[in-house]
C-alpha cells in the first residue's frame, strides 16, 4: 500500500527550529531548516543524523524547501549545506532568496562577532549556500525530477512566505510554513486552491487563540500607549524585524536592541512593554509573559521588572479560526500539526477531527507518522445518476456520499513495459524447464561441446552460443548440463525457456530427445 512518512526534526510539538522530513512515493523532501531561539548549544539546530545513518545526505534527499526567511525556518541552512554536507537543490521564493542571506549574516554576526562563538558558519558559507538555491514564483509548477513536482502558494505571513504543495503521481502533501488567514495593512490573506492533498502539514502557533478584529486590536493598542505616555512613562514594543512594522528588534527580547532597552526601562513602573506576538520558551519575552518579574541576566545579575507587561497579538500567524479555514479551503484527507505547543495542539487536533472527520497527527521531534494513501481513480458520473441519488436523500458529508451505479470501463492497449511502469510493478519471469537424458559416457564438457556442434549444424537460422560458464544459449533458451545422474553413461541436460519462447523450447527438447548423431572422437 502506498504510504507517506513524516518525521519532524524540529518544530514537533514545539515552536522554533522548523525542519520536517517527508517521504512520499519514494521521494524524500526536507521542509525548512531552522534554528531555535531558546537555545545556544547543539539544540539550536535540528538533529540531521536522523535523516540517514548510511550514505550521503545528497543521495537520500531529493530537495530542500524553505517556506520563508524567518531564522526559525532557515537559520540552520548554511550549517546543513556547507558543514553537514548537503549538495542538492534548495527551493524558496524570489523575495525569500533576496532577504534570507541578510538575516543569516546578521545571525552569524551576533553569534560569532558578538558572542565570540567559533565553529559556526562563515560569511563565505552563507554565499556558497545561497548558490544552491533555486528561486521559484508563486503558482509555478516546478519539476524537481521526472516524478516529483512542487508548487508555491501565497502564505500572507511575511514578504515572500509561501505554502508548498509536494506532489508525486496522485499523492500529495501541502506544507503551510507560517501563514496568516487575515489580511493586514501590509499583506493579503493566505490562499490555496481545493487541491485535496493526502496530508496538510500546518503550523499551529495560535492553536487555541481566536483573535478579535484587527480594528479593535489597533484601538486597544493605541489606548495602552496613550495611558503610559500620559503618566510620563515610555513604551517598548519589541517586534519581529523584517517584513513587519519597525520598532526595536528582536521580538522575543532574547538579544539585541530590544533587550538592551528593556533592561534600561524595566525598573520604572510608569513604563510599559507591549509584546506583540508569540515568544518561544527560554526567551526573556516568554519569561515576562508567564509572570516572572525577577530575571537572571548575563553575569548572574538580577533584573527586577517593575514596568507593566502587556500582550497584544499583532502576529502574522493564523489563529484557530484561520487554521480551520485553510483546512476547509484545501480539503486534505488528513492533517498533521507542527510549530506549536503540545497542549494547544491536542485541543486543535480534537476540533479538526470532530469537524472534518479526518485523522489529525501531532508527532514529537524524531517521531515518525506513517499514513497509508489510497491511489485515486477519477470517475465521471452521469448527471442523471447524481440527480437521482440526491433525490433519494443522500447528503454529502465532507464531499463523500455513497453512490451506487454501474461502472463502465473502457480498455486501453499498452505495451507490457508501459503497463508495468504505470502500475509501478516489477517484472517477474516464469521459466519452464525440461530434463533431457543423453546417453554419453564421455566427460560432461565434451558432451556439451557435442550438443553445441549438433545444434549449430541443425539450427542454421538461429543464434547458438557456447557461453563461458559452459551452458548453451539458443536465442533466449538456456541449455545446461547437470551432474545429477547416477549412471556414469547417462548425462542430464536442463532446457529452460520463458512462455514467449514456448515453441522453440519444445522443439529443442524434442530434437535433443532424439539423441546426438554418432561422431568419431
Ligand atoms: Zn515565521
> Digits of tens for pLDDT over the chain (521 positions)?
689 999 999 999 988 899 999 999 999 999 999 998 778 888 889 989 888 877 788 999 999 999 999 999 999 999 999 999 999 999 999 999 999 999 999 899 988 888 888 889 999 999 999 999 999 999 999 999 999 999 999 999 988 999 999 999 989 999 999 999 888 767 889 999 999 999 999 999 887 776 666 666 677 777 777 787 777 777 777 765 554 474 556 666 666 777 878 888 888 888 888 877 677 777 888 888 888 888 887 777 888 888 888 777 666 677 888 999 999 999 999 999 999 999 999 999 999 999 999 999 999 999 999 998 876 667 788 888 888 777 766 665 555 666 777 877 777 888 888 888 888 787 777 888 888 888 888 888 888 888 999 999 888 889 999 988 889 999 889 998 876 656 677 888 899 988 888 888 889 999 888 887 765 44
Catalogue the E-assigned strands of 248-354. Answer: 272-275, 294-296, 302-304, 308-311, 334-338
DSSP code at position 319: B
- Respond yes or no: is residue 304 known to be catalytic: no
Residue 3 and residue 370 in contact, taking contact as beta carbons nearer than 8 Å: yes
Task: State the pairing for strand pair 308-311/272-275.
Answer: parallel
Q: Which residues have a Cβ under 8 Å from the Cβ of 393 and sit 6 or more positions away?
A: none
Burial class (CB in 10 A: 0-12, 13-18, 19+), 494: middle
Q: Coil, helix or strand for 65? A: strand
Cβ 294 vs Cβ 303: under 8 Å: yes
Distance 19 CA to ligand 1 centre (A): 13
Q: Taking a C-beta distance cutoff of 8 angstroms, is the pair 326, 202 a contact? A: yes
Q: If we measure between CA atoms, which residue out of 225, 213, 212, 276 comes closest to residue 246?
A: 276
CB neighbour class for 304 (10 Å; exposed up to 12, middle 13-18, buried from 19): exposed
Task: Report d(CA 51, CA 60) in Å as an integer.
Answer: 8
Whether the ω angle into residue 250 lies within 30 degrees of 0, i.e. cis, is yes
CA of 68 to the centre of ligand 1 (A): 7
331 CA → ligand 1 middle, Å = 24
Expressed in angstroms and rounded, the spacing between residue 15 Cα and the centre of ligand 1 is: 10
Distance 162 CA to ligand 1 centre (A): 10
**Cα–ligand 1 centroid distance for 248 (angstroms):** 17
Question: Residue 509: which of 477, 484, 486, 468 has the closest Cα?
Answer: 477
Q: Which residues surround ligand 1, an ion (CB under 5 A)?
A: 70, 178
**DSSP state, residue 400:** B
CA distance 141 to 137: 9
C-alpha span between 205 and 359 (Å, rounded): 20
Radius of gyration, CA atoms only, the chain: 34
CA distance 356 to 348: 12
What's the 157 CA to ligand 1 centre distance in angstroms? 7
Rounded distance, CA 40 to CA 320, Å? 31
Block residue for cell numbers 469537524: 355
The catalytic residue among 82, 171, 203, 310 is: 203
Amino acid at each position: 500500500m502506498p504510504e507517506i512518512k513524516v518525521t519532524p526534526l524540529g518544530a514537533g510539538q514545539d515552536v522554533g527550529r522548523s525542519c520536517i522530513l517527508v517521504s512520499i512515493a519514494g521521494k524524500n523532501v526536507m521542509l525548512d531548516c531552522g534554528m531555535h531561539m531558546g537555545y545556544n548549544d547543539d539544540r539550536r539546530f535540528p538533529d540531521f543524523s536522523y535523516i540517514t545513518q548510511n550514505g550521503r545526505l545528497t543521495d537520500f534527499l531529493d530537495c530542500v524547501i524553505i517556506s520563508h526567511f524567518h531564522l526559525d525556518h532557515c537559520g540552520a541552512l548554511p550549517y546543513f549545506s556547507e558543514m553537514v554536507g548537503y549538495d542538492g537543490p534548495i527551493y524558496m521564493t524570489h523575495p525569500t532568496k533576496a532577504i534570507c542571506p541578510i538575516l543569516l549574516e546578521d545571525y552569524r554576526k551576533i553569534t560569532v562577532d558578538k558572542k565570540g562563538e567559533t565553529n559556526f558558519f562563515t560569511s563565505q558559507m552563507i554565499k556558497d549556500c545561497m548558490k544552491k538555491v533555486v528561486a521559484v514564483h508563486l503558482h509555478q509548477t516546478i519539476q524537481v525530477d521526472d516524478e516529483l513536482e512542487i508548487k508555491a502558494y501565497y502564505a500572507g505571513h511575511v514578504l515572500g512566505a509561501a505554502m508548498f504543495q509536494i506532489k508525486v503521481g496522485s499523492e500529495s502533501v501541502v506544507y503551510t510554513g507560517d501563514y496568516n488567514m487575515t489580511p493586514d495593512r501590509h499583506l493579503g490573506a493566505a490562499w490555496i486552491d481545493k487541491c485535496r492533498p493526502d496530508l496538510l502539514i500546518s503550523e499551529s502557533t495560535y492553536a487555541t487563540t481566536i483573535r478579535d478584529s484587527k480594528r479593535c486590536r489597533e484601538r486597544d493598542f493605541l489606548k495602552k500607549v496613550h495611558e503610559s505616555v500620559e503618566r510620563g512613562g515610555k513604551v517598548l514594543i519589541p517586534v519581529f524585524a523584517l517584513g513587519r512594522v519597525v520598532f526595536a528588534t528582536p521580538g522575543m527580547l532574547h538579544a539585541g536592541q530590544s533587550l538592551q532597552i528593556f533592561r534600561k526601562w524595566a525598573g520604572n513602573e510608569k513604563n510599559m512593554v507591549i509584546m506583540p506576538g508569540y515568544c518561544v520558551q527560554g526567551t526573556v519575552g516568554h519569561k515576562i509573559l508567564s509572570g516572572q518579574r525577577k530575571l537572571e541576566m548575563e553575569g548572574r545579575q538580577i533584573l527586577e521588572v517593575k514596568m507593566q507587561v502587556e500582550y497584544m497579538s499583532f502576529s502574522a500567524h493564523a489563529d484557530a479560526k484561520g487554521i480551520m479555514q485553510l483546512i476547509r479551503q484545501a480539503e486534505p484527507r488528513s492533517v498533521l500539526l507542527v510549530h506549536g505547543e503540545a497542549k494547544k495542539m491536542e485541543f486543535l487536533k480534537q476540533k479538526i477531527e470532530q469537524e472534518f472527520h479526518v485523522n489529525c497527527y501531532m508527532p514529537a521531534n524524531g517521531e515518525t507518522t506513517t499514513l497509508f494513501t489510497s491511489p485515486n481513480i477519477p470517475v465521471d458520473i452521469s448527471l442523471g445518476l447524481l440527480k437521482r441519488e440526491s433525490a433519494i436523500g443522500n447528503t454529502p458529508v465532507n464531499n463523500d456520499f455513497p453512490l451506487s451505479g454501474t461502472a463502465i470501463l473502457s480498455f486501453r492497449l499498452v505495451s507490457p513495459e508501459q503497463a508495468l511502469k504505470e502500475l509501478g510493478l516489477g517484472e517477474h519471469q516464469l521459466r519452464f524447464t525440461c530434463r533431457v537424458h543423453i546417453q554419453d559416457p564421455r566427460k560432461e564438457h565434451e558432451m556439451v561441446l557435442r550438443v553445441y556442434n549438433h545444434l549449430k549444424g541443425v539450427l542454421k537460422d538461429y543464434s547458438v552460443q557456447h557461453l563461458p560458464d559452459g551452458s548453451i544459449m539458443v536465442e533466449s533458451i538456456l541449455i545446461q548440463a547437470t551432474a545429477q545422474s547416477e549412471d556414469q553413461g547417462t548425462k542430464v541436460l536442463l532446457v529452460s525457456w520463458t512462455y514467449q519462447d514456448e515453441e522453440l523450447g519444445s522443439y529443442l527438447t524434442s530434437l535433443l530427445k532424439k539423441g546426438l548423431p554418432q561422431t568419431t572422437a
